[in-house]
Structure 1
Amino acid sequence: MSVGQHDAEDPEEPDAAWRAATAARRVLLPLAQMEKKRRADVDAAAAALNISTTKAYRLIARLKEDERTSALLPAKSGRPAGLSMYAADIDEIIREVLERDYVAEQRPSETAVLNTVRARCRRAGLNPPGRKGVKTRIQALDLYDRLKARHGKNAAEIATSRPGEFVVERPNQVWLIDHTEGDIILVDRRFRQPIGRPTVTLIIDAFSRMCVGCYVSLGKPSRIQSAMALLRAFLPKEALLEDAGQNWDWPCHGFPELVHADNGSDFRSAAFRRGLSNYGIMLKHRPVREPRYGALIERYIGTTMGELHLVPGTTFSNVSQRGEYDSEAKAVMSLDGFERWLLLQIGRYHISPHRGLDGFTPQSRWEASIGLGFRQKEIAPGAAQEIMLAFLPGDRRRARNTGIHFKKLRYWAAWLTPLVRRGGASVDIRYDPRDMSFIWVASEGRWERVHLYRRRAPFTLREHELALKALREAAAASFDEDAIHAKREESQAIIAAEAATTKRARRHNEHNERSLEQAEAIYGEPPPICPSFSDLPVVSPGKAARTVEEW
């Protein structure tokens, strides 16, 4: 193909241009290398390439400066890049309007910007520019700066390139943890009426993308929610799957080297840091307002929530997607059913090809590492209680002759007597907000369970706080422990009566019941023991001198 033929070629065919330039170089390079050349030789070369002699001389001149084939490729047609078609005054008006109006949080449309530019040009006695010219200037703006000014930093981060990768070399090296609100309305298990959306905590292994742990509840994200998800991640999963009536291979357990989390208050709590440190696990927080650092866990959450949009009662991702769909009217799934559904989705995800793993499945990636010598740290049987204690919130209290006073409650055990006789030594305590009928007290290197001096049925910290609030509102002059429990039981009776008609009451009731069940599953229910000092006088404890670590 000749250079002359290329002149009529479609510019979208680079191979044709290259073939023409290669043919021209092969014919003209010997002439370019001659000090003197005859006109007849140039005419013959031009005829062979089907171009004019004048064009042949121009191409020979190019080859004298640069002998590469690329020197003969034709220049792009049209206006040179960066050269404006408008007068300087018009360009200046366009620039000012874009900087002042377009790159702003108000986010005016391109049409609004065009109208502003045209109005200013008319006032200045200039010809208004066309839509295409203004749109070209908008597209020439830096994409990151434009999106950041109009849509915020997150949108700019997502839409622009950020080279780099999350480098991990083995399973259990880095785990990522995060909470999300499930895109579904659940029903309570008693009345089968709507009670709202669940909170889901998920943990994935960065190397294999395996989900190593999960937990669902009706409470807000909290350190107990995070601790329960980690507890499940640490332990073998056979018992969890058996309770859910499922039988599939979930080989993940053991302790990670590092946990990667966002900056939520539960992930920054003293209890969370202390629990990880107790097992030699490092904690790393993502940079503030830098969501790309949590992309792995965010994508997994998005995948799981996407599957949830096919379940009756889904809320979808936003109002526009939901349209006129009545999520509460369609709701059929209880919290227990949702957890079983979630476990099935995890099992399916593990055996599905993953684009980030070059098409391998998360489970095959995990099993391949086992074959190459990776070994998980085995967890001792019955370690759930010990692990949970490491993550419980706590404080330090003095053992008085009236017991250990904590949150307007008194706890007592006979083995505290020697401490009281020595002047009331201070002791470390831990408590689980899901069951305040007992606390844990440190004694000689281990944790001992200490119950209320008058045994009560299990109750949550939230129930206790509501009872205290009711007493304060009644302007009680002093707190009496029996009065507190009476108020709590009265409150529970009201909630139970209202549960059939009130969504909030049903949710409260369901959350409390499940919290107590989960706590009992870990700690067990001790046999009833009559307290040795049941006749201790009721003494109103003084105001706490410092803030107690909350859950």
Structure 2
Amino acid sequence: MDLIFRSMCQRAPLGRTAMSANALFFEGRTVVWNGHIGEVVENPDTLSEVLVRLVGEKVIRTMAASDLTPLDSLDETNRDLPLAAVEADEWDKAAKRASACREIEAACDKTSAVADAAKMLGVQPRTVWRIQKRYRTDSKVSTLVSRKPGPKKGSRFLSLEREAIVHDVLEESYLKRERPSAGTATNDVELECKRRQLRPVCAQTIRNRLRAIDPKYVMQKRQGGKRAREKYKPVPGTLMATRPMELIEIDHTLADILLVSDDATRKVVGRPWLTLAVDVATRCVVGFHLSFDAPSSTSLAMCILSIVLPKDQLARYLDFDLLGVEWPCSGKFEVLLTDNGRDFHGAAVMRGCQEHGIELRYRPVGSPHWGGVIERLIGTMMGRLRMLPGATQRDVRAKDGQDVEKRACLTLSEFRQWLVTEIATHYHQVVHRGINMPPIEAWRMKSSTQISQPRELSDQECLRLFVDFLPYCERPISRVGINMNAMRYWSDELRDYVARGRKHAIRYDSRDIRRVYFVDPFGKVIVVNCVRQDVPQMSVQEWQKLGAAQRTTGAIQQRIDDRIAGHDANKALVASSEKASRQAHRDSNKKVERDKSLQARPLPVAEASPGNVASTFNPNRVPTPFKILEF
């Protein structure tokens, strides 16, 4: 038994260090030592040592009181009672007893002092001695409040053997990640008791033991330490911001709603990603972005652009209506606080923040409470949109068998308009519990000291701000343009940068494959369009998937067979050519060797006869054509 129940094994509370071992580990008390259950046999009149007999052993051990932990509660519940919860009569009686105890402590003849105190309190002298003993352990009036008769709360009556069985079974069978039920633990205890021929433990007793375990310890063993820390770890401290646009929190979430396409079919497209930005000082929503694409540097760039732009200008760009409601929350900000997502750690995000004087901060790892403002805003918005048709709700049980896809009816633009209306006309106008006023009123009050209001940005300024946060890659500019994503991009403004022998930072919007961006040394953004005119608007991921699909569509097996046949034919052709060449080389070598051997050997001279003069061979004679002598 390496683990110990936390609430079963309560140590002496803080502030009671003066309590002696004689008071804490009285005779017969059940204790735990190094994971083993035992019983206090004798408690010498010391502050450091106790005699204990462990379960299953006959030997009595002398143990240090600091190594022991009481298995049952301290049973003196009145010590922990709030002072206001004690009745006035009981408190007066306890005050008189405390006064009598102080007189006994100061008296030289304690026997006479105890007798006098017994007469004053109307009790026997032995009762006064017991009161005095309790007062010595803790010199407080609350220590002497009368206790209720009967068994004290938390008392245990199981034998040591049965108590040890309950302790072991709960540790081994109940406190584990599979999270078995209490009934399973009860059955295991019953079987173990029958195996040892002991009386089974009542199911209610086991449930009482389970309720006595520290809930944090139970969650740590059954659900993991992370869940236990998220629920029980203290989270002191808060983020402080005193003026608008001083500290901005930003985060992404997958909205709990299904949207449909904008065309006539209105087919279900899916759930959109929502990026929100909130001002910590005023709790105002200062920016947002909606897209079906997963969070990326582009999502962050669009959200930052929506923060800086005045909302009237943003409404013209995104084609939504503010309905005449004021939304003054815009401008440049100082600090951006995000979580530790990969999309916030890119080089483009860091350099974009540095370029525009924004301090980029990250929450401590594993501490989501430092982003509590934006998390609360996301929770509020998700709760509001769950009332819309097509809402997926928070879980399967909340759907209650509804066909969510059949009820989906909002498009992305319609949902954007709903979100803007919800923010401007509801969220900003309702009292926020964190600041005890509506967010729009907090903005007006805290921004009244600002001298200038945010101005509208030109198209080139908006484009530069957007491009500075886009991802980029290094590419050379050749005579045919910029090669990216298996396509070429060209603009006449790139003529001065062609073939300079170095690579340039080419930025791209992952949502649109048709164009990339190049920032020249003078800070001007050059939009470089794709050379091909037949490429529709699609994301980089869609283009890559389309290329992969085109490479694998059609008569795949027929093309594979044709490739194999062509490869084999070429291989046979090369092999035949090599064989013929080798044969020709061998024949040529044979003839050369034969000629050499003939030249080295003397030729035979035939005897001349008068009748056969033509048979004489003359090597110097030039043969006539087609009459070449062969040897």
TM range (shorter): 0.7 to 0.9
Residue in structure 2 matched with residue 518 of structure 1 by the alignment = none
Cα distance in 1 for partners of 2:365, 2:466 equals 29
2:308 is the counterpart of 1:239: no
2:95 is the counterpart of 1:25: yes
Change beyond 3 A, Cα 1:83–1:412? same
Match for residue 334 of structure 1 among 411, 422, 428: 411
Which stretch of structure 1 is more off in the superposition, 369-378 or 400-409? 369-378
CA contact (8 A) 2:282 2:439 kept: yes
Deviation at 1:416, TM superposition (A): 3.1
Residue in structure 2 matched with residue 132 of structure 1 by the alignment = 204
CA contact (8 A) 2:94 2:142 kept: no
Match for residue 485 of structure 2 among 403, 407, 414: 407
2:216 is the counterpart of 1:169: no
Amino acid aligned to 2:347? A
Match for residue 213 of structure 1 among 274, 277, 287: 287
Match for residue 433 of structure 2 among 355, 358, 366: 355
Residue in structure 2 matched with residue 472 of structure 1 by the alignment = 551
Gaps of 5+ in 1: 1-10, 477-551
Match for residue 159 of structure 1 among 228, 231, 234: 231
Residue in structure 1 matched with residue 25 of structure 2 by the alignment = none
Amino acid aligned to 1:20? E
Deviation at 1:455, TM superposition (A): 5.0
Deviation digits for residues 122-147 of structure 1 (CA, Å, limit 9, x no counterpart)? 10112222223222332333322321
Residue in structure 1 matched with residue 36 of structure 2 by the alignment = none
Cα distance in 2 for partners of 1:273, 1:45 equals 80
Change beyond 3 A, Cα 1:18–1:159? farther
Residue in structure 1 matched with residue 191 of structure 2 by the alignment = 119
Matches within 5 A, 1:31-46: 33=103, 35=107, 45-46=120-121
Which stretch of structure 1 is more off in the superposition, 175-184 or 411-420? 411-420
Deviation at 1:107, TM superposition (A): 0.3
Match for residue 257 of structure 2 among 167, 184, 202: 184
Secondary structure of residue in 1 paired with 2:434: helix
TM-score (norm: length of structure 2): 0.65
Cα distance in 1 for partners of 2:338, 2:412 equals 25
Change beyond 3 A, Cα 1:371–1:54? farther
Residue in structure 2 matched with residue 395 of structure 1 by the alignment = 473
Secondary structure of residue in 2 paired with 1:266: helix
2:529 is the counterpart of 1:451: yes
CA contact (8 A) 1:234 1:379 kept: no
Cα distance in 1 for partners of 2:277, 2:385 equals 18
2:172 is the counterpart of 1:100: yes
CA contact (8 A) 2:118 2:128 kept: no
Cα distance in 1 for partners of 2:274, 2:127 equals 73
CA contact (8 A) 2:93 2:145 kept: no
Match for residue 299 of structure 2 among 198, 213, 225: 225
Cα distance in 1 for partners of 2:114, 2:274 equals 84
Deviation at 1:109, TM superposition (A): 0.7
Amino acid aligned to 2:342? S
Cα distance in 1 for partners of 2:117, 2:542 equals 100
Deviation at 1:23, TM superposition (A): 5.5
Deviation at 1:386, TM superposition (A): 1.2
Cα distance in 2 for partners of 1:332, 1:24 equals 72
Cα distance in 2 for partners of 1:378, 1:100 equals 67
Cα distance in 1 for partners of 2:102, 2:510 equals 89
Secondary structure of residue in 1 paired with 2:343: coil
Match for residue 87 of structure 1 among 159, 168, 174: 159
Pairwise CA RMSD of aligned residues? 3.5
CA contact (8 A) 2:98 2:135 kept: no
Change beyond 3 A, Cα 1:136–1:296? farther
2:388 is the counterpart of 1:311: yes
Cα distance in 2 for partners of 1:117, 1:449 equals 75
Cα distance in 1 for partners of 2:228, 2:150 equals 32
Secondary structure of residue in 2 paired with 1:391: coil
Amino acid aligned to 1:184? I
Amino acid aligned to 1:320? R
Change beyond 3 A, Cα 1:399–1:17? same
Cα distance in 2 for partners of 1:312, 1:305 equals 13
Deviation at 1:469, TM superposition (A): 2.1
The alignment of Structure 1 onto Structure 2 pairs a total of residues equal to 460
Change beyond 3 A, Cα 1:211–1:76? farther
Cα distance in 1 for partners of 2:92, 2:198 equals 49
Cα distance in 2 for partners of 1:439, 1:238 equals 27
Deviation digits for residues 497-549 of structure 1 (CA, Å, limit 9, x no counterpart)? xxxxxxxxxxxxxxxxxxxxxxxxxxxxxxxxxxxxxxxxxxxxxxxxxxxxx
Deviation at 1:456, TM superposition (A): 5.5
CA contact (8 A) 1:32 1:64 kept: no
Deviation at 1:321, TM superposition (A): 0.7
State the percentage of identical aligned residues: 30
Residue in structure 2 matched with residue 526 of structure 1 by the alignment = none
Change beyond 3 A, Cα 1:295–1:139? farther
2:354 is the counterpart of 1:274: no
Cα distance in 2 for partners of 1:75, 1:440 equals 81
Deviation at 1:387, TM superposition (A): 1.0
CA contact (8 A) 2:165 2:192 kept: yes
Gaps of 5+ in 2: 1-80, 556-631
Deviation digits for residues 385-437 of structure 1 (CA, Å, limit 9, x no counterpart)? 111101112122212222222222222233433433x6544322112233333
Amino acid aligned to 1:244? F
2:510 is the counterpart of 1:438: no
Residue in structure 2 matched with residue 503 of structure 1 by the alignment = none
Change beyond 3 A, Cα 1:12–1:399? closer
Deviation at 1:75, TM superposition (A): 3.6
Higher-RCO chain (CA-CA 8 Å, sequence separation at least 6): 1
Secondary structure of residue in 2 paired with 1:145: helix
Residue in structure 2 matched with residue 73 of structure 1 by the alignment = 145
Secondary structure of residue in 1 paired with 2:378: helix
TM-score (norm: length of structure 1): 0.73
